Each structure stands twice: as C-alpha cells, then as structure tokens.
Amino acid sequence: MGLKLKNVLPVFVFLLLASTAKAQTVFDVTSAKYGGKPNSDITQALSKAWTDACASTSPSKLVVPKGTFKFLGTTFKGPCKAPIAFQLQGILQAPADGNQLPKKDTWISFDHIDRLTISGGGTFDGQGAISWKENDCHKNKNCKSIAINLRLNFITNSRIEYITTKDSKNFHVNVLGCTNVAFHHFTVSAPKESINTDGIHIGRSTGISIIDSTIKTGDDCISIGDGTKNLNVTNVTCGPGHGISIGSLGRYQKEEPVSGITIKNCTLTDTQNGVRIKTWPASPSAGTASDIHFEDIIMVNVGNPILIDQEYCPWNQCTLKVPSKVKISNVSFKNIKGTSTTPLAVKLVCSKGLPCEKVELSDIDLKYTGNQGPLTSKCTNVKPTITRVTKPLACATSA
C-alpha cells in the first residue's frame, strides 16, 4: 500500500464516522417536545421519545441527560428502522415498591431490536431493598415474580457499555434469545445480602461477550442457562456474590445444550463459590453441557473455588437418589490460583448415571486460609486428566 493511501485511509474513516455522528438524530427526553424533568416521573416522556427514535429512518440517539429521573418501567419494542442508541447519562429510578410496576417481573425490557447501543455512563437503579426481604425464590420454586432491572429479549448485533445497573429487585440483566451482544465496561452493583440478584443471566443466546466488567451482587455474578452457545467472559471482576456458574441445568423439560463457554482472566473475591457447573438430579429430560473452559482465574478468599456439582439440590427441592441426566464433557480448569475459604478446594461430583468425560485440571495452585482441616479435593464419577496439580488438589478422594 502506498504512503499516500496509508495517510488517506485514517482521514477517510474519521470523516465517515463524523458524518455518521452528524446524521444521528437526537431525541432528548428533557426537550420541549417530550417535557421530561429531573426528580419527576418521565415514563410518558421516555416512552414517546423511544417511539419517535425507533421510527427514525436514520440512526437515532435517545438521551436521558444527567440528573435523577423517576421511571415506572416499560418495554422498548422493536424492530426499529435504523440503528438506535439509548444514552443514559443520569439515573433512572424504579419505584421502591414493586407493586407500582406495570409488569411485576420486569422493570425495563428491550425487545426485538437490531443494532442497539445502551451507553452513557448512567445508572439503572432498581431500588430493590424492600423486595429482597420478600424474595423467597431461592427456596420456593412457586415464588411470586419479582422485577428484573433489564431484560434483553431477541436483541441482535448490539452493545451495552459504560453503564451501571444497581440494586435490582431480582436479576439485574436477563439475556434471552439474543445473538451477538457485547457487554463492555459494564457494572453491576448490589450488596451481598441482596437475594437472587444475579448480575447477568444468559439463556438460549449465541455469541454473547462480557468483557472488562465489574459485578458485585448477592447471587451469581454471571449465570449461564440452557441454550447458551459461544459465550466469552474475559477480564471480569466478581465479588461479592456466588461466583460464575454454568446452570443450574436439568430442572426443566426440553432444555437446550450448553456449549462453547470460555471464562478467562477473571478475578473472584469473597464469593461463596468460584467457577462451577451445577445440574439437578432427577432431571425430567436429558441435556448436555460441553466445551467449557475456565482459564487464568484468580481466587481471593473464595469458597469452593473449583466445582462441578451434579447433585445440586437446594432446600431439598429434588430427589437425590435419581442421578442427573445432563451429560458434561470437554471441560477444562487451567491456571487457577489463589485462596480458598473451604478445605475442599476442588470438588468434581458428576452424575453416576452419566459420568463426566474429558475433564482436565492443570496448573491449579490454591491455598486454604481456614483451620477446619487440611486442603483437599474430591472427584466422583469422573477421571480427569491432571497436570501440574499438587496431590491435595488432584482428586485426593475419588470414586
């Protein structure tokens, strides 16, 4: 490539981006047209601005400027006619009382949208403290629905970046039926006592990435449900919370396979668990979880740092005597270092009906910080390949 062409290309790209930015039509909820005001309810203003922005035939940007705004909640529906940006610069606040929400299980939902960007440095504040006291979904499978801060339903080719979700009443983000969605510099903020507030839950979605993000919550930082494929989690800081989990799987009929999961370069601090795969015994139908890789993970005061649990049965909601029907295969735990708050630092308990296959442990270096006995490990219904792992961590007990 000639020198002149090399010099021209960056200028061309800059001009192209600049022209695209100029072409972007701005819809500000505080403009005279929509009448939104700080410290007041902007439900109607924001809904009207979304309708206009979504109908725009050129790229559009909906803006919620700095300030605190009350918002009862809604579903932002697509498809839209052009790429659309939701730029939240301020704070959107949900009602503290979940009974005031139009939908009891949802505060904000984005549905059937292609090329959506959610950004702006602002905060979705679910004000969930009251609801945490009422939430018994962790022990009652027939519990009443409680609102999720953000639902992403059937979103494609989109980005969520430089945004915070805070104190959701239930899960912070639920990703369902999405394709090619990236979370960058995304923040989840809730105290460890917040019940059932998973940071990001993913189900039946393909090509999701979570990168350079921080998740502090009271349940799983990231939970991966059935039908998740080609998930990339890189450079995520997790804690407090329950760790990063595949599952739980095998609880419902006709669950879809989980495959192509990579969790890499993450740090977990003061979490109840580390990296784990959990499936229910007595599964109503067969399932699979394969091609799952945990690599370059730092554990800081983590309970159960490495865990496969195919006897996951919280609050005795299942029959342990019947083995799980979820087949786990091609799983690796590589270069995992740090400290464990439990002596059983590596626990691989697989299904006696479908033993795990092709499981690898390599370069595992964990220290126990407590006084409840020596550091140890347990492997049941699995024969992992073990490389550069000290004896206490290398399936000290097995069956």
> Residue 338 CB: number of other CB atoms within 10 A?
20
Residue of 40, 48, 50 whose CA lies nearest to 72:
40
Within 13 Å of residue 258, how many CA atoms lie on the same side as its CB? 31
Q: Which two tokens stand for residue 116?
A: 């959506």
Range of weakest confidence among 5-14, 264-273, 343-352: 5-14
Compute the distance between CA of residue 14 and CA of residue 45 in angstroms, rounded to an integer.
34
Chain Cα centroid distance, residue 293: 17
At residue 104, does pLDDT exceed 50?
A: yes
Residue of 79, 87, 82 whose CA lies nearest to 62:
87
Three-state secondary-structure class, residue 165: strand
Residues 7-25 have pLDDT tens digits of 444 444 344 334 444 478 9
Residue of 67, 133, 150, 142 whose CA lies nearest to 96:
133
Can 293 be counted among the known catalytic residues?
A: no
Q: Which two tokens stand for residue 378?
A: 């347990």
Q: What φ, ψ does residue 88 adopt, rounded to 5°?
A: -100, 105
In this structure, which amino acid lies at residue 144? K
How far lies 204's CA from each of 8, 133, 148, 173, 285, in Å? 44, 30, 18, 14, 17
Question: What integer pLDDT is reported at residue 2 of this predicted model?
Answer: 45
Q: Which two tokens stand for residue 273?
A: 């668990």
User: Which one from 138, 172, 184, 242 is the annotated catalytic residue?
Assistant: 242
Question: What integer pLDDT is reported at residue 231 of this predicted model?
Answer: 98
CA angle 109, 110, 116 (to 5 degrees): 150
In this structure, which amino acid lies at residue 374? P
H/E element holding 272?
none
Residues 41-86 have pLDDT tens digits of 999 999 999 999 999 999 999 999 999 999 999 999 999 999 999 9
> Residue 214 CB: number of other CB atoms within 10 A?
18
Q: What φ, ψ does residue 20 adopt, rounded to 5°?
A: -65, -45
At residue 325, does pLDDT exceed 80?
A: yes
Compute the distance between CA of residue 50 and CA of residue 67 in angstroms, rounded to an integer.
19
Reported pTM? 0.93
Residue spans of alpha helices (H) in 137-273: none
At residue 390, does pLDDT exceed 60?
A: yes
- Under the banding of pLDDT at 50, 70 and 90, the label for residue 319 is confident
- Domains (range + CATH), the chain: 27-134+144-398 (2.160.20.10)
* Residues linked to residue 162 through DSSP beta bridges, in sequence order: none
Compute the distance between CA of residue 277 and CA of residue 281 in angstroms, rounded to an integer.
13
Q: Are the C-beta atoms of residues 103 and 147 closer than 8 Å to each other? A: yes
At residue 132, does pLDDT exceed 90?
A: yes
Question: What integer pLDDT is reported at residue 399 of this predicted model?
Answer: 76
- Under the banding of pLDDT at 50, 70 and 90, the label for residue 317 is confident
Q: What is the mean pLDDT of residues 168-195?
A: 97
In this structure, which amino acid lies at residue 384? P
Compute the distance between CA of residue 310 and CA of residue 326 in angstroms, rounded to an integer.
8
Terminal-residue alpha carbon distance, the chain = 63
DSSP 310: T
Q: How confident is the prediction for the chain on average, in pLDDT? A: 93
Q: Are the C-beta atoms of residues 211 and 231 closer than 8 Å to each other? A: no
